[in-house]
Structure 1
Amino acid sequence: MPYTSPSADGNYKTDPYGEQSAFNTSQYTGEQFFYGQVNFLYNQQLSGWI
């Protein structure tokens, strides 16, 4: 999942996992896994959540 880097220095992040984990934990409190799912049937969206 994309995330906003708190450092905002514009440099390439070689190990972004710590920053991403901190961002997701602050955005989605109480969650352990961060992912989304969309169900399609014949090019029509049936349901979805992120």
Structure 2
Amino acid sequence: MNEIRNTPSVSAHSLADAPWRTSTRSQTSNCVEVAPLAAGPSAVALRDSK
């Protein structure tokens, strides 16, 4: 099982400037976006684009 870690050191400002990409599996009204984080190659942020 994958471990999910909370990353409280990520500021809202850094997420606003992150290079967000829409998932290719998203539909018109159900979009998920992903952005890489500076914490490492496997660290990402996810958000609902609604």
TM-score w.r.t. the length of structure 2 is: 0.22
Larger helix fraction of residues: 1
TM-score w.r.t. the length of structure 1 is: 0.22
Of structures 1 and 2, the larger Rg is shown by 1
